[in-house]
Amino acid sequence: MTVTKWPPIFAILVIQAIVFAGLSLVLPSANAIVGFAIPVFWQMCGQGVASAVITKTFKFGWGWVIGQLVAPPMVILALASGLPMWIYPTILILLVLVFWNVATNRVPLYLTNTDTSAALLKLIPKKKTVKFVDLGSGLGGTLRYLASQSAENQFYGVESAPLPFALSWCLGKFSGNHNLKFRYRDIWKEDLSEFDIVYCFLSPVPMARLFAKAQAELKPGSLFISNSFEVPDHTPNKIVTVKDGRKTELLIWKI
C-alpha cells in the first residue's frame, strides 16, 4: 500500500513524524556548523518546509501541502501566545467532527447553492414518485429545499461527518418535512438499489468507485447526478449548466 492510498490524516502525521525524527538526528551537527543552538521556531519552519516538499512529492493536494508547511511553526506561535491549553484540543475536536470526510476520504465539505438546488428540482420526474438520495449531504440544505418543494417524493441524506450530520438531522426535524430522512452512514455502506436518483457533490477522488457502485446497485433507468466532478472514462448523457456565479455543471448519467 502506498502513502497516497492511506487515509490522508494518517499519511500527513506519518510524514511529519519521519521528518521530525530526521531533523532531530541532524540538529546537533547543524548547531555545530552555525555555532549556536537553532531556535525552536526556526526548527519548526524547517520541519514545515521538509514536510510540505515530501507531501507534494506524493501528489497530495495543495491544501494538504500548505497545511504541512504552516502547521509546525503555528504550533510554536500558538504555545507562545499563552492561551489556555484546553483551547487546542477543543479546536482540533471540532475540526475533526466537521471535516471528518476530508481527513479520511479526501472529500471536502461542499455545500450546494440555492440555484443548483432549484436545477435539481427540475430534474425530478413529475409522473411518478421517486426516492432521491444525496450522498455526502452535509448540512442538508439541498434536501430540505427539495422536500419542501416536492412533497410527493422521498428524500434521503447520507452523511458520515458527525457534526454536519447532527445539524442536518436537527434542522430536518424542525423543518416539518415528513418526506425527509437523514442517515449517519458511510456512503460505501449505503445500498443504492432503493433509490431512483443519486446525487453527489464530493471530489474527484471517489468518483470512479462511486459510479461503479451506482452501476452495480441502481435499477435500470435511474439517474446518477454529479455536481461538477466527472467520472473518468464515462461521458455523461446530459449536462445541465446552472446560471449561478460559478457556472455549476450537473453531470447526469442514466443507468
29-72 pLDDT, tens per residue? 888 888 888 888 888 899 899 999 998 888 776 767 888 888 88
Whole-model pTM: value is 0.67
251 pLDDT tier (thresholds 50, 70, 90): very high
Q: Is the pLDDT of residue 172 over 50?
A: yes
Does residue 2 carry a pLDDT above 80? no
Q: What's the average model confidence in pLDDT over 114-141?
A: 92
Query: What mean pLDDT comes out for the span 210-236?
Result: 95
- H-type alpha helices, the chain: 8-34, 40-57, 62-80, 87-98, 100-105, 114-123, 141-149, 162-175, 207-217
Most confident of 10-14, 110-114, 153-157: 153-157
Contact between 19 and 44 (Cβ < 8 Å): no
Give the number of other Cβ atoms within 10 Å of residue 33's Cβ: 9
Position 217 confidence tier, pLDDT thresholds 50, 70, 90: very high
Q: Is the pLDDT of residue 234 over 70?
A: yes
How far apart CA 244 and CA 113 sit, in angstroms, is 9
Those residues whose C-beta lies under 8 Å from the C-beta of residue 207, and which sit 6 or more positions away, are 226, 229, 230, 231, 232
Amino acid at 43: Q
Run of H or E residues at 135 = strand 131-135
Which among 77-86, 100-109, 164-173 has the top mean pLDDT?
A: 164-173
Q: For residues 183 and 156, give the distance between their C-alpha atoms in angstroms, rounded to a whole number.
A: 7
pLDDT band at 149 (very low <50, low <70, confident <90, very high): very high
Query: pLDDT (tens digit, 9 = 90+) per residue, 89-104?
Result: 666 666 655 555 555 5
- Chain centroid to Cα 34, Å, comes to 44
Q: How far apart are CA 255 and CA 251, in angstroms?
A: 13
Nearest CA among 119, 121, 158, 153 for reference residue 140? 158
- Asked if residue 39 lies in contact with residue 72, where contact means CB atoms within 8 angstroms, the answer is no
Task: Classify residue 25 as exposed, middle or buried by CB count within 10 Å of its CB (0-12, 13-18, 19+).
Answer: exposed
pLDDT tops 50 at residue 1:
no
Q: Regarding predicted confidence, which is higher, 37 or 86?
A: 37
